[in-house]
């Protein structure tokens, strides 16, 4: 049966062929068919099943209490209907609800016996799960012991293990750069990490967990779900800071609406909201169906993956000469914005996905992440597209005609022409960007105009721009020109790490640039260093060292750097003394700081031996609260975690103490 096959691919193989939305639609279609024809209903129907059979590679264990699924709602009216059923079932006019974010992760059950983590299980088929205790012990967010003076004899906690979104994207970018297959989504990546037989592999993945439900227990005295979550928080278990209670259905709708608009604000992927009856007496009275509790429902947000037509595949040449294939799409609305272009990352990824012009493809966009093509839709490829064969990377640069090359051991292809017009454009726009020299007024369109008018031919030329020549450009009045020239002059004082980022050296982003700048201290020392010396810098390694050495050895690059030095750009960096004053500290940042960018604040903490976390938990040492903070500040107050403002942060960095 089609649904059974898709269920197995999703839960057991972590390799779905269809989107969650398509699977939900198929399941709904079957539910409607069984409702119209009861004679077709059977105990073995997919509508009555949870999860999928456990992986035989792992030891299987029967859950003390079944891990059921949830019924779904897709329209606000379905939430209204569920609330009405709850009222009637309880004969209660205004039951209280708990509203939680529905994390798109891997369901897991933790069993604590006398406060100690005894066992961790996957959902499996809801009755029997796979034991992954050794793997879960490697997750920092999961404590081995509960922080309770008198823990229950047994506490079974259900939750979701997930990949934090920022770490997931960083990992995927690194895999793509190395020519390795990208993970399709955070949920599949988390599932794969937990199914590693060697826990050390799991430990290398930055997994986290949010706890949200109760299973079997002995000696636990709580009367509501809200009380239970508060207990988990006191015990040191991670709970979602976004959870709220609601006394009316209007408040439930407000919660659903708010997080639908702020879907990408949490540090994890969500695909909806879970609404639960708060009072445990009420939950027991409402009971269960064969596969789901009657006292809870999941509201599913519209999918963030859409199908569309692939018109063509073209390539772009970036600032380092890297040639990147991208998809030209029939415009489609994804995650609130219309997408007509999407990345295919590199030649290997395009071949692996085997997408071809004329295909129907699935497109994904999560928050501010660049849209990407997930793959083609099986069964929808026209015969003529199949006959045409796989897409091939062009052999010459579409902008300058140079032969495209690919180095041994690299996933990316390159245009080697330093004068390639598109490479120059991308280089100049990047040099002026906020993460590099931060030149106000020199954006992409201005860079394009300066190159088209012949006013600049390389990066250093911006420091000799003529005011009168700029005034002659269309749309450039005196104020605009003076602001641009002022921004260019101010950029000369940027520290060495910003200059290194701006030079467009392959593999050298902000983190590597800081490592190099702080190790060598001066540009001339870095330029004169051997490849082996650069490779010996902690965190750098031979691949980056080879790219750095090759950049400075190139006569054209060397001449451009010399021109920058003649223009007066800064070649040293701010002195940073590393210390251990924050050794053992876990710090969470929320809100904006006047004296630090987010990266600078993170680096300052790490320079002093501290660790920066993305969410507040019982293990958090302090939360730094800046302007316009998010819900992390509220979560800190709930948990009793200390907070400091920017002045307190500066004092903390200096002394390791909270004023």
Question: Among all residues, which ones are annotated catalytic?
Answer: 102
Q: C-alpha distances in angstroms, 548 versus 141, 408, 527, 542?
A: 38, 17, 9, 10
Query: Which residue is it, tokens 């006191």?
Result: 234
CA 283 to chain centre: 35
Which three-class secondary structure state does DSSP give residue 95? coil
Strand locations in 558-619, DSSP E?
586-590, 611-613
Go through the chain and tell me how many residues it has: 659
Task: Decide if 326 contacts 341 (C-beta within 8 A).
Answer: yes
Task: Decide if 97 contacts 252 (C-beta within 8 A).
Answer: yes
On the CB side of 320, CA atoms within 13 Å amount to 18
Which three-class secondary structure state does DSSP give residue 553? helix
Pairing type for strands 360-364 and 305-317 reads: antiparallel
Q: How open is the CA angle 556-558-564, to the nearest 5 degrees?
A: 105
DSSP codes of every residue in 3-27: HHHHHHHHHTSS--SS-HHHHHHHH
Quote the CA–CA distance of 95 and 91 in Å, as a whole number: 9
Tokens of 451: 């190159």
Task: Decide if 509 contacts 485 (C-beta within 8 A).
Answer: no
Quote the CA–CA distance of 501 and 427 in Å, as a whole number: 11
Widest distance between CA atoms in the chain? 85
Tokens of 515: 């490592």
Q: C-alpha distances in angstroms, 325 versus 69, 348, 470?
A: 40, 10, 35
Query: Which residue is it, tokens 């105990």?
Result: 43
Burial of 553 (0-12, 13-18, 19+ CB in 10 A): exposed
Pairing type for strands 270-277 and 296-300 reads: antiparallel
- SS3 of 433-475: the string is CCCCCCCCCCCHHHHHHHHHCCCCCCHHHHHHCCHHHHHCCCC
Quote the CA–CA distance of 10 and 220 in Å, as a whole number: 35
Quote the CA–CA distance of 456 and 465 in Å, as a whole number: 8
């Amino acid at each position: 049966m089609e649904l059974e096959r898709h269920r197995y691919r999703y839960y057991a193989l972590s390799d779905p062929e269809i989107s969650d939305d398509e699977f939900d639609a198929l399941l709904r279609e079957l539910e409607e068919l069984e409702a119209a024809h009861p004679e077709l209903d059977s105990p073995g129907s997919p509508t009555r099943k949870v999860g999928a059979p456990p992986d035989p590679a792992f030891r299987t264990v029967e859950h003390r209490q079944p891990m059921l699924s949830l019924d779904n709602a897709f329209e606000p009216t379905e939430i209204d209907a569920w609330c009405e059923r709850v009222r009637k079932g309880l004969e209660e006019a205004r039951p209280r609800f708990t509203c939680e974010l529905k994390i798109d992760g891997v369901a897991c059950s933790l069993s604590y016996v006398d406060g100690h983590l005894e066992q961790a299980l996957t959902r499996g088929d809801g009755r029997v799960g796979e034991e992954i205790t050794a793997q879960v012990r490697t997750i920092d967010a999961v404590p081995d012991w509960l922080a309770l003076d008198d823990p229950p004899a047994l506490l079974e906690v259900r939750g979701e293990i997930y990949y934090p979104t920022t770490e997931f994207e960083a990992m995927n970018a690194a895999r793509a750069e190395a020519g390795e297959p990208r993970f399709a989504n955070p949920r599949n990546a988390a599932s794969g990490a937990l199914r590693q037989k060697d826990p050390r592999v799991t430990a290398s993945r930055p997994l986290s967990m949010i706890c949200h439900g109760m299973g079997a227990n002995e000696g636990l005295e709580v009367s509501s779900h809200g009380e239970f979550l508060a207990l988990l928080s006191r015990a040191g278990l991670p709970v979602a800071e976004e959870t709220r209670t609601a006394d009316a259905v209007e408040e439930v709708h407000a919660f659903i609406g708010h997080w639908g608009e702020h879907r990408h604000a949490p540090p994890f992927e969500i695909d909806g909201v879970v609404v639960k009856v708060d009072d445990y007496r009420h939950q027991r009275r409402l009971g269960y169906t064969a596969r789901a509790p009657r006292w809870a429902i999941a509201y599913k947000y519209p999918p963030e993956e859409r199908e569309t037509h692939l018109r063509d595949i073209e390539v772009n040449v970036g600032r380092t000469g890297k040639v990147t294939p991208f998809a030209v799409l029939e415009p489609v609305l994804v995650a609130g914005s219309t997408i007509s272009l999407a990345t295919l990352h590199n030649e290997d990824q395009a071949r692996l996905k085997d997408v071809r012009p004329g295909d129907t493809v699935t497109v994904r966009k999560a928050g501010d992440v660049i849209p990407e093509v997930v793959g083609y839709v099986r069964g929808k490829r026209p015969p003529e597209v199949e006959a045409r064969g796989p897409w091939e990377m062009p052999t010459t640069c579409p902008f300058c005609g140079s032969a495209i090359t690919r180095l041994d051991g690299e996933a990316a292809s390159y245009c080697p022409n330093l004068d390639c017009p598109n490479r120059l454009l991308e280089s100049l726009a990047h040099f002026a960007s906020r993460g590099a020299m931060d030149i106000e007024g020199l954006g992409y369109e201005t860079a394009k105009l300066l190159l088209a008018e012949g006013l600049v031919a390389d990066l250093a030329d911006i420091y000799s721009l003529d005011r009168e020549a700029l005034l002659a450009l269309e749309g450039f009045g005196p104020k605009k020109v003076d602001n641009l020239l002022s921004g260019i002059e101010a950029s000369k004082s940027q520290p060495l790490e910003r200059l290194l980022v701006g030079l467009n050296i392959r593999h050298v982003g902000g983190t590597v640039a800081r490592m190099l700048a702080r190790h060598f201290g001066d540009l001339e020392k870095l330029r004169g260093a051997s490849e082996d010396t650069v490779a010996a810098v902690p965190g750098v390694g031979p691949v980056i060292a080879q790219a750095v050495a090759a950049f400075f050895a190139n006569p054209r690059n060397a001449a451009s750097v010399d021109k920058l030095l003649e223009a007066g750009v800064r070649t040293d960096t701010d002195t940073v003394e590393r210390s251990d004053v924050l050794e053992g500290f876990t710090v969470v940042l929320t809100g904006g700081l006047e004296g630090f960018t987010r990266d600078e604040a993170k680096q300052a903490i790490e320079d002093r031996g501290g660790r920066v976390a993305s969410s507040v938990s019982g293990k958090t040492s302090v939360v730094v609260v800046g302007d316009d903070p998010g819900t992390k500040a509220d979560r800190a107050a709930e948990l009793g975690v200390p907070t400091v403002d920017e002045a307190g942060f500066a004092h903390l960095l200096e002394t390791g103490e909270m004023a």
